[in-house]
Amino acid sequence: MIRWLLLLFGGLLLGGIVHLGTVMMVPRTATQDAYARLSPVAPVNTVAQIEAPQPDKARLTYMDPAFALAICRYDLSGGSLKFSVPVSQAYTSVTFYSRYDVAYYAINDRAAGRRVIELDLMTPEQRAQLPEDEDVTAADRLIVETPTVTGLIAVRALAPEPGLMAMARASLTAAKCNLAK
């Protein structure tokens, strides 16, 4: 009897490890995560406009229908990235997601404080290679470090009323993301 109880206890302990291991593995094995869903419509290092969600077809789950959405799927293996978007009339935000859809950085138009949100995206290695004197000029250039070489930049512009959606979309068409020369 004691023996079986011990085995049960050991099994539960082992089960705890299995549980933690599988939970940690889910992001790396998910085939329908946001990155995978966006890959077919978002070319690398280009801004792609994503269609507004409809009940029967939506590119992602839990999309906010009041927002126009554009995606830049980045790959920094060829160098760092320059990103810019003019702010829309109501509200514009830029959110950076790692390859596993973790939002590691987000900024809105008011925090950026200008008419155009401009950011440089680089890996920690690329940032370390920046020449010293360029760090000085970096004061007026926001630098964001990505934890993964690939990932997503989501640009969202709010349409406070449905009639303003065209205007929100138009502000996103001016968004740019290119590899720095």
Partner 1 sequence: MRLLFGSLFMLAIAALAGLGATWLSLTRHTAFGGLTIGAWTAWPKAGTGDADPYARANIARTGQLPVGLGDGVTFMAQEDDNGTPLDGRCTVTLSGTTPAARFWTLTLYDLRGNLVANTLNRYGFTSQEIVRDADGQFTITVTSRAVSGNWLPTGGDGRYRLLLRLYDTPVGVATRAGREVPMPRVEAKDCP
Residues 34-73 that bind partner 1 (CB under 8 A): 34, 36-37, 53-56, 58, 60-67
User: Closest separation between CB of residue 74 and partner 1, Å?
Assistant: 14
From the list 78-86, 105-113, 114-122, 127-135, the region that binds partner 1 by CB under 8 A is 105-113
Minimum distance from CB of 43 to partner 1 (Å)?
18
Give the per-residue SS3 of the chain: CHHHHHHHHHHHHHHHHHHHHHHHHHHHHCCCCHHHHHCCCCCECCEEEECCCCCCCCCCCCCCCCEEEEEEEEEHHHCCEEEEEECCCCCEEEEEEECCCCEEEEEEHHHHCCCEEEEEEECHHHHHCCCHHHHHHHHHCEEEECCCCEEEEEEEEECCCHHHHHHHHHHHHCCEEEECC
By the criterion CB under 8 A, which residues form the site for partner 1?
Answer: 3-4, 7-8, 10-24, 26-27, 30, 32-34, 36-37, 53-56, 58, 60-67, 90-91, 93, 95-98, 100-108, 110-111, 147, 152, 154, 156, 158-161
